């Protein structure tokens, strides 16, 4: 497929109300179910390597169901992968940017053809409902299309001011070999986005996926090879962070790390990467997107029906397991009681069940997450007034928790300050709009936020004072689109990478300035 620089357009979502689409998706789920329980290897320089030590990926909707059994990389695999990747890098970095970009465009073409297969994998492996999984795959296609075009742009010589007697040049070169550590909650989009940004800019990558979502990452690696990516440019190592991730991050031959996940793990990686190891000849670059304690503000002028609708979508979509999810709701005192009444009424309509059956709310990711969320709910009983939810859902198997709302929460309470990463919403009363902004900013995080208001002065004030990387007005605080809402947060939400934006590829590049004196 030739490189095409036509205008980028976001991939449309699938309309599952159309019978043909619904039937096609059900068939895709059956296909993935027919492949459950298989064993999967590491991939190093194109070679598939099975190890004796393995772990299992489980279906959170039905934990007795094994998605797949995956090899655990050993120290020798880490050493071999880094050695191979640096050798391949010497060739890959010389491939013209447009040729590298063309591989991403071919991958986008192939992913569209297999869209439902990838989405169905996420339904079973991480408990996304159909719409959430389809949006994840659409975002992945967007990254392929958008980063291909961006790579072509960055691959050109950059403009400089002319200077008499010299020929100045400025261009970008890749960093080298990096480690990609993605999360389980957007296991295709974020995995693909960080990885393809790395390789399309001329770097080689070692992908260490979450142990809760290795199958979708494996399918992505296979897709890239099918699209024509040379072996060794992208390598695949699975296993726990302590055994595989930490040694990769700390290794002196690792040039950069791209991470998305929790604040705790992100800070650990940041610290580990900052220590210069014996034989290391660079300061490692770390691109880190971490957590959020995202707030929605509803002022007294807001359209309350819209505000409640989008708050619930933000708080309980994918069980609140998004770094962008609303976990704090700040309401003006004049409409506080009315909004609470509406929230409870609408929340009680939410249905919970297996992701395969396309309930709005499915399971949380695993037993550990379920335990942590339930512990926070117990803390919440002493920090707020329980309005609805508060316990495991009455479903025979799986990690299901009811959508839970606490009212009258103090802005400094644990459930208002710490990231829960589950379907728990803390509601806080504000005296006025200034108070609401102060409450919203009273967090170590600064990822996303929304304001529902019809008051233009308040909207302008929010744009200036609400300290988040992604601010939305009169819409939900989740669902960022590539090149529409460049994504990344402030403070402890990470390094503000702005994934899906026009600055993102620069994080995987370094600028080189050359000037040649003209002889007369």
Q: Out of 3.40.50.2300, 3.40.309.10, 2.60.120.380, 3.10.20.740, select the CATH number for domain 294-481.
A: 3.40.309.10
More confident residue, 396 or 174: 174
- Mean pLDDT over 285-290 rounds to 98
DSSP symbol at 323: T
Classify 39-290+497-513 by CATH class: alpha beta
DSSP symbol at 350: -
- Concatenated DSSP letters of 407-467: ES--TTSHHHHS---SSEEEEEEESSHHHHHHHHH-SSEESEEEEE-S-HHHHHHHHHH--
Compute the 3-state secondary structure of the chain and give helix, strand, coil in percent, each to the nearest 5: 40, 20, 40
Cβ contact 81:46 at 8 Å:
no
DSSP symbol at 60: T
pTM (two decimals): 0.97
Whole-number pLDDT of residue 5: 55
Catalytic annotation, residues = 289, 323
pLDDT at 520 over 80: no
- Mean pLDDT over 488-517 rounds to 97
Reported as a single tens digit per residue, the pLDDT across 15-49 is: 999 999 999 999 999 999 999 999 999 999 999 99
Whole-number pLDDT of residue 6: 73
Through-space distance between the first and last CA atoms of the chain, rounded to whole angstroms: 46
Mean pLDDT over the full length of the chain:
97
- Mean pLDDT over 57-82 rounds to 98
Reported as a single tens digit per residue, the pLDDT across 79-132 is: 999 999 999 999 999 999 999 999 999 999 999 999 999 999 999 999 999 999
3-state secondary structure of 247: helix
- Please report which helix (H) or strand (E) contains residue 251, including its range: none
Written as six digits, the tokens of 329 are 């709701």
Q: Structural domain boundaries of the chain? A: 39-290+497-513, 294-481
- Mean pLDDT over 369-390 rounds to 98
Closest by CA position to 474, among listed 298, 324, 335, 293:
298
pLDDT at 1 over 60: no
CA angle 392, 393, 395 (to 5 degrees): 120
- Mean pLDDT over 216-243 rounds to 98
Reported as a single tens digit per residue, the pLDDT across 436-461 is: 999 999 999 999 999 999 999 999 99
- Concatenated DSSP letters of 450-510: EEE-S-HHHHHHHHHH---SEEEESS-S----TTTS-B--EETTBS---BTSTTGGGGGEE
- Mean pLDDT over 154-167 rounds to 94
Alpha-helical segments (H) within 2-64:
19-33
Q: How far apart are CA 465 and CA 127, in angstroms?
A: 36
pLDDT band at 519 (very low <50, low <70, confident <90, very high): confident
DSSP symbol at 397: S
- Mean pLDDT over 327-338 rounds to 98
Reported as a single tens digit per residue, the pLDDT across 208-226 is: 999 999 999 999 999 999 9
Whole-number pLDDT of residue 2: 45
Whole-number pLDDT of residue 3: 47
pLDDT at 4 over 60: no
């Amino acid at each position: 497929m030739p490189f095409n620089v036509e205008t980028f357009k976001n991939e449309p979502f699938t309309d599952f109300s159309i019978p043909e689409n619904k039937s096609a998706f059900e068939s895709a789920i059956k296909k993935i179910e027919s492949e459950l329980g298989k064993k999967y290897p590491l991939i190093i320089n194109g070679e598939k390597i099975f190890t004796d030590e393995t772990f299992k990926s489980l279906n959170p909707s039905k934990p007795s169901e094994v998605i797949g059994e995956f090899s655990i990389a050993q120290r020798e695999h880490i050493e071999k992968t880094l050695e191979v990747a640096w050798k391949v890098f010497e060739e890959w970095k010389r491939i013209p940017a447009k040729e590298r970009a063309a591989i991403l465009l071919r991958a986008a073409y192939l992913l569209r053809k297999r869209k439902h297969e990838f989405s169905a994998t996420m339904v079973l492996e991480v408990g996304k409902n159909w719409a959430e999984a389809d949006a994840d795959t659409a975002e992945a296609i967007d990254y392929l299309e958008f980063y291909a075009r961006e790579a072509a742009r960055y691959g050109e010589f950059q403009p400089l001011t002319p200077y008499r007697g010299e020929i100045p040049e400025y261009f970008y070169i890749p960093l080298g070999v990096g480690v990609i550590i993605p999360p389980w909650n957007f296991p295709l989009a974020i995995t693909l986005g960080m990885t393809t940004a790395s390789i399309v800019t001329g770097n080689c990558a070692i992908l260490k996926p979450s142990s809760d979502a290795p199958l979708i990452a494996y399918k992505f690696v296979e897709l890239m090879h099918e699209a024509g990516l040379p072996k060794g440019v992208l390598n695949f190592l699975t296993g726990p962070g302590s055994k595989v991730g930490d040694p990769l991050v700390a290794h002196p031959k690792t040039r950069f790390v791209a991470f998305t996940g929790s604040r705790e793990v992100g800070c650990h990686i940041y610290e580990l990467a900052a220590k210069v190891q014996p034989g290391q000849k660079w300061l490692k670059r770390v691109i880190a997107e971490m957590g959020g304690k995202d707030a929605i503000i509803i002022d007294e002028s807001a359209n309350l029906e819209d505000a409640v609708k989008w708050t619930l979508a933000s708080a309980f979509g994918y069980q609140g397991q998004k770094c962008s999810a609303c976990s704090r709701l700040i309401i003006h005192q004049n409409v506080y009681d009315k909004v609470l009444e509406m929230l409870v009424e609408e929340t009680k309509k939410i249905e919970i069940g297996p992701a395969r059956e396309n309930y709005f709310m499915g399971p949380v990711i695993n037993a550990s997450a379920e335990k942590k969320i339930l512990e926070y709910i117990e803390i919440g009983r002493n920090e707020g007034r329980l309005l609805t939810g508060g316990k495991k859902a009455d479903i025979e198997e799986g990690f299901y928790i009811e959508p839970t709302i606490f009212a009258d929460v103090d802005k400094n309470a644990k459930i208002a300050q710490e990231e829960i990463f589950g379907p728990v919403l803390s509601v806080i009363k504000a005296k006025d709009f200034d108070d609401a902004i102060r409450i919203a900013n009273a967090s170590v995080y600064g990822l996303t936020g929304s304001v529902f208001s019809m008051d233009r002065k308040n909207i302008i004030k929010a744009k200036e004072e609400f300290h988040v990387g992604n601010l939305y007005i009169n819409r939900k605080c989740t669902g960022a689109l590539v090149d529409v809402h460049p994504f990344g947060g402030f403070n402890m939400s990470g390094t503000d990478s702005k994934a899906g934006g026009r600055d993102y590829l620069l994080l995987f590049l370094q600028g080189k300035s050359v000037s040649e004196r003209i002889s007369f």
